[in-house]
Amino acid sequence: MQPDSPALPMIRRIAGKETTLFFASPIAYLFLASFAAITLFIFFWGEAFFARNIADVRPLFEWMPVLLIFLASTLTMRLWSEERRSGTLEHVLTQPVPLWHFVLGKFAGCLALLAIALLITLPLPFTVSMIGELDWGPVWAGYLATLLLGAAYLSIGLFVSARSDNQIVSLISSTALCGVFYLLGNSAITDLFGNQASEWLRLLGSGSRFDAITRGVIDLRDLYYYLSIIAVFLTLNTYVLEKERWATTATTPHHKNWRIATTLLLANALGANLWLGQIHSLRVDVTEGDQYSISPATEGYLRQLREPLLLRGYFSSKTHPLLAPLVPQLQDLMREYEIAGDGKVRVEFVDPLKEPELEQEANQKYGIQPVPFQVADRYQSAIVSSYFNVLVQYGDEYQILGFRDLIEIQARSETDLDVQLRNPEHDLTRAIKKVLNAYQSGGNLFDTVKGKLVFTAYVSADDTLPETLVAFRQTVQKELEEMRKQAGGRLEANFIDPNADGGKVARQIGEDYGFQPMAASLFSDQSFYFYLTLANNDQIVQIPLDDMSEDSFKRNLEAGIKRFASGFTKTVALVTPPSNPAYAQYGMGGPQYSELENFLGAELNVQPEDLSDGSVSGDADILLLLSPKDLDEKQVFAVDQFLMQGGTVVAATSPFSATLTPRNISLEKQDSGLSDWLAHHGLSMTDKLVMDAQNSAFPLPVTRNVAGFVLQELRMLDYPYFIDVRGDGLNRDNPITVDLPQLTLAWASPIVIDKDKQGQRTITELLHSSEQSWLSASTDVMPRIDASGQTHYTPEGDTGSQPLGVISAGRFDSYFAGKPSPLLQQEKSSANEDNEQAEQEPTVSGVIEHSPESARIILFSSNDFLSDQVIRVAGSTSRSEYLNTLQLVANTIDWSLEDAGLLSIRARGHFNRTLPPMEHGAQLFWEYLNYALAALALGLVALLQRQRHKMRQRDYLRLLAE
C-alpha cells in the first residue's frame, strides 16, 4: 500500500476484501438466508398478509427496526474483535494509510451485504403488485429507510467491535446499544411521558423515525438523523483506533488536535439535528396521490378565508397507546395547514388537563368532553380521561373532530387492532369547508356570486291567470324588489308575457326549455304561463312554485341564488322506501341508510324527500333515489320534471331486493315504478342477477362444538352475488371512480342501454363486472355450502362483462310530453263535488317537455349495495370500516354539482387498497412462489460469487505467470 493512494480505491479494496471474507465462510449465506426466512415468515405468518387483506408491504418493514438490531450486531461482531484477537490489528495500525479508510472499507463491505439481503426480498413487492393495486411510493421509501437504519446499526456495531477482542461481548454490547436507540422512540417508553416529552423521545428513537419514512414521507430531518448516527459512530470508531497508535499517554499537540476535531465533528453532527428540527417543509410525499401533503383542493379553501381560522388540538399527555403515535402525525399535518394558510391559519396545541381554563372553555363552549381510556404501564393499569379532539373555528362558526371522526381501525383479530389516521386532510378540510360555508351563508347571499343574475318571469297577463296566481305574482314582485336592494345591482328582474307578439316568446321557451302552457284543471279551457327562472351566463335554473306562499317563494329563490354562489352547503333530496321500525330487529323493517346519511351529512344537507305531492323541494340541488319502490304516477312525474329542469337524478335500483336475517337471505322482485320512465330514456335492466367469479367474500356465522364448548366463528365464503369491482371495472377517466380502489355491488342486475333512444346524449360507463361474470335468473341466493364447508359456483351460459353503473347526460325528452299533468284533478260531475272543488285551492301545473343539456341520469343497478346491512357485511369481510360505496355516492354528488374540492382527497384511506378475492389455493401459490424466488435469489448470489472467485483466481494465476 502506498501512502499517496487515492482514498476511494483503497476503501473499495478493503470493502472487497471484507466481502470476499464474508462469502469465503458460511457467514454471508447464513446471514442472507436468515434475513430472507425471517422476513418472509413475518410477512406471511406473523402479520398474516392474506388475512390482513391489504395490498401493501407494510408487514415487510414493521419488524425491521428490531430484526436489524440482531442481524447488524451479528454481522459486525467479528470485524474488529477478530483483528484484535488474532493480532492483525497491529498490522493495520502501522500502515501509512489514514485509519478512516479501513473504517469506511469495513462499513462499506457490511453495507453491501445488507443491500444484497434487501435485493433478495424485492420479489415480494412485485408479487403483491401483481395481486392488487400496490402504492410503490411507500415501498421504495421503506427500502431506503431500511438501508439507512441498517447502516446506522452497522456503524454502532463497528464501534463496539473496535472496543473489545471478544466477539460475544461485542454482540451483546452492540445489541444493547442499538436496542437503546430503538426503545427511545418506542411506545413502551413514550407512554410513560406527556406529549411534549414523548415527541422529543420519538425524535431520538431510530424506530419512530423509521415508521415516518415507511409510511411514504421522506423528510430531510429523518434522513439526516440516520446519517448523523452513521457519522458519529464511524468517527468514534476511527478515534478509538487512532488512540491505539499513540505511543504515550501524555497529551501532545497531535492528541489534542485529534480530540478537538473529533469533538467538533460530533457536536456539529448532533447539533444539526436540533437546527433541522425547526424546519417542517423539507419533505417529499411519495405516496400515490400525495396522501400526506396539502392538496390543491385544501389550498383553494384556505384562499377563501377572509378571517383568521383557528385549528386547536386538544391532546392529553396520557392517552390510549394506540392513539399516542397518531398525535405527532396529526400535529405535523396541522402545521402544514398553518404554512399553507399564509398567515390566515393559527394552530395551537393544548393539554386541557394542565390548563384548567382552556378545559372549562372546551367543556362548556364547545362541548368537548374527555373520553375514558384504559392505559397500562409496567406497574399498574388504570382508567384515565383523556382528550383527542381538534377544534376548527372560523368567526363564530366551529366544528369539533373527535377521535372517532379521525381514525380508521382494522381488526386483525379480536385483540390485535391496527389504528391509523383515516384521512386526516379530508377530515380537516371538510370541517374547514363546513365552517366556511356556514359563516358565508350568514352574510349577504350575493357576496360570493360571480357576475350578474337575471330573474325572468314568463307570466301571462292577469286576466288569463287564476286568482291565486294573480296574488302570487304580486308577492313575487314584492320579494324581488327587496332582493334587488340587497343585491346591490347584481340582480336584474324581468316579467315577460309569452303570449305577446303572437306568442313568439311562447314558442321560443317551448323550444329552448320545454315550457308548455299550464292549466288549473284537467278539462279547463283556460291556459296560461307562470314559469320563474334564474340565469347566470349560460346556466339557468327554474324556481318551483310549491305552495305559492311568500315564505315558500323566498326560500326557493334563495336556494336558486345559492346554486350560482360558492361557499354554500348543497342540499340532497333523499328518497328511500318506507320502512317499519317495529320489524327492523327481525331484518324485515326495510333497508336503512343511516351510514350513508351520516357520511353525506358531514358535507351536505341531506333531507328526506316526499314525492307524493308530485314535486321535488325547491332547495334540492340533486335528487337521490335509493331502492325506490312502487312509485306512482305523481311521484314519477316529480322525478321527471326535476330532470327536465336540468337537475341530476341519481338512482340505485334494480328488479330485485334482498332481505337479510340472521338465518336466511331471501330475494324478491321489486317494482320501482321507474322502469318505464328509465326505458323511455334508453336505460333498462333485465330480470336477472349478475354473478361474478371476481367477488367479495360473504361472512357466514358457523357454530362448532369443541370439547363441549359451543364456538361461533365467521367463515368467509365465495359469493358471486357480491360483485368485486376493481381495476378495469372502474372507469379511470371519470373523477367519480378514478381514485376508488374497489367497490362491492350486491345482487346487481345488468344495465341495457338503448342507443337509439339515447339520441345525442353522452353515455359513460362507470362500473362493470369482470369478463368472468355470468347471468342467473334464480332468486335462490343463499350460499351453497358443501360437506367441506366451502362454496362452489360454476358459470351458467355465456360469460362477459356487464354494465353496472352508467351516466346518461344531455337533453332529455319528458316521459309526460304531450300528456296532461298528473297533478291536475279530474273535474267531478256532481254539483256537490263541484262546490267542494271550488272551495279548494286550485292545482296549477304544466309539463316541461324537454330538459336543458345540463340534465343527467346516473344509474347504479343494485337496490341494496348502499344499505346499512350490506355495508356492515362488507366491513366484516375486510375487518375495517367499509367506506368505498359511500365514497362512490359522495363523489357522484360532488361531480354532479361541479364541486370537486373534496373529491380529489376523499379516497385516501389507509385500508382501502384491499386484495382481490382469492381461493385458498391461489393464496398458497403466491406464498410458496415467494419462498421459491427467495431461494432462487440466494442461489443466484452464490453462483455470481463463485464466478467472481474464479475470475479472481484466473487474474492471480496470470499475474504469477507474468
Report the percentage of the chain scoring pLDDT > 90.
23
pLDDT of residue 830 exceeding 50: no
C-alpha cell at 545: 312554485
pLDDT of residue 525 exceeding 50: yes
* pLDDT tens per residue, range 464-515: 888 888 888 899 888 888 888 888 788 889 999 998 888 888 888 888 888 8
Closest CA to 236 of 207, 214, 205, 269: 269
Report the percentage of the chain scoring pLDDT > 70.
87
DSSP per residue over 294-324, as a string?
Answer: --HHHHHHHHT--S-EEEEEEE-SS--TTTT
Q: Looking at residues 613-618, what average pLDDT do you find?
A: 87
| pLDDT score recorded for residue 833 | 47
Q: Which residues contact 142 (CB under 8 A, 6 or more apart)?
A: 57, 58, 60, 61, 213, 214
Which of 418-432, 552-566, 747-761 is modeled with the greatest confidence?
Answer: 747-761
DSSP per residue over 623-659, as a string?
Answer: EEEES--S--HHHHHHHHHHHHTT-EEEEE--SEEEE
Closest CA to 57 of 962, 915, 882: 915
| pLDDT range class, residue 832, cuts 50, 70, 90 | very low
Q: Looking at residues 732-736, what average pLDDT do you find?
A: 89
Q: Looking at residues 774-790, what average pLDDT do you find?
A: 80
Please tell me which residue, 816 or 841, carries the higher pLDDT value. Answer: 816
| C-alpha torsion sign, points 168, 169, 170, 173 | positive
Assess contact for 732 and 738: CB atoms under 8 A.
Answer: yes
| pLDDT score recorded for residue 788 | 63
End-to-end CA distance of the chain: 21
* pLDDT tens per residue, range 906-956: 666 656 677 787 777 888 899 999 999 999 999 898 888 888 878 878 877
Assess contact for 670 and 658: CB atoms under 8 A.
Answer: no
Please tell me which residue, 870 or 706, carries the higher pLDDT value. Answer: 870
* Secondary structure class of 455 (helix, strand, coil): strand
Closest CA to 425 of 285, 541, 589: 285
pLDDT of residue 443 exceeding 70: no
pLDDT of residue 581 exceeding 70: no
* pLDDT tens per residue, range 413-437: 655 677 778 888 888 988 898 888 7
Q: Hunting for cell 452497522 — which residue is that?
A: 154
Q: Looking at residues 203-218, what average pLDDT do you find?
A: 82
pLDDT of residue 841 exceeding 60: no
| pLDDT score recorded for residue 580 | 56
| pLDDT score recorded for residue 827 | 42
Please tell me which residue, 836 or 421, carries the higher pLDDT value. Answer: 421
Which residues on adjacent β-strands are paired with residue 765? 806
| pLDDT range class, residue 584, cuts 50, 70, 90 | very low
| pLDDT score recorded for residue 898 | 77
| pLDDT score recorded for residue 765 | 94
Which of 142-156, 223-237, 351-365 is modeled with the greatest confidence?
Answer: 142-156
Please tell me which residue, 546 or 931, carries the higher pLDDT value. Answer: 931
| pLDDT score recorded for residue 488 | 79
Average pLDDT over all residues of the chain: 82
* pLDDT tens per residue, range 123-140: 999 999 998 888 898 899
| pLDDT score recorded for residue 191 | 64
C-alpha cell at 247: 505511543
pLDDT of residue 392 exceeding 90: yes
By DSSP bridging, strand 856-860 and strand 648-652 are parallel
| pLDDT score recorded for residue 908 | 63
pLDDT of residue 620 exceeding 50: yes
CA atoms within 13 A on the CB side of 382: 11
pLDDT of residue 637 exceeding 90: yes
| pLDDT score recorded for residue 444 | 65
| pLDDT range class, residue 351, cuts 50, 70, 90 | confident
| pLDDT range class, residue 317, cuts 50, 70, 90 | confident
| pLDDT score recorded for residue 856 | 93
DSSP per residue over 698-752, as a string?
Answer: EEEEEEEEETTEEEEEEEEE--TTEEEE-GGGB-TTSTTTTT---EEEES---EE
- Rounded CA-CA distance 723/740 in Å is 15
Please tell me which residue, 522 or 487, carries the higher pLDDT value. Answer: 487
For residue 312, CA distances in Å to 81, 318, 331, 398 come to: 54, 18, 10, 11
| pLDDT score recorded for residue 600 | 87
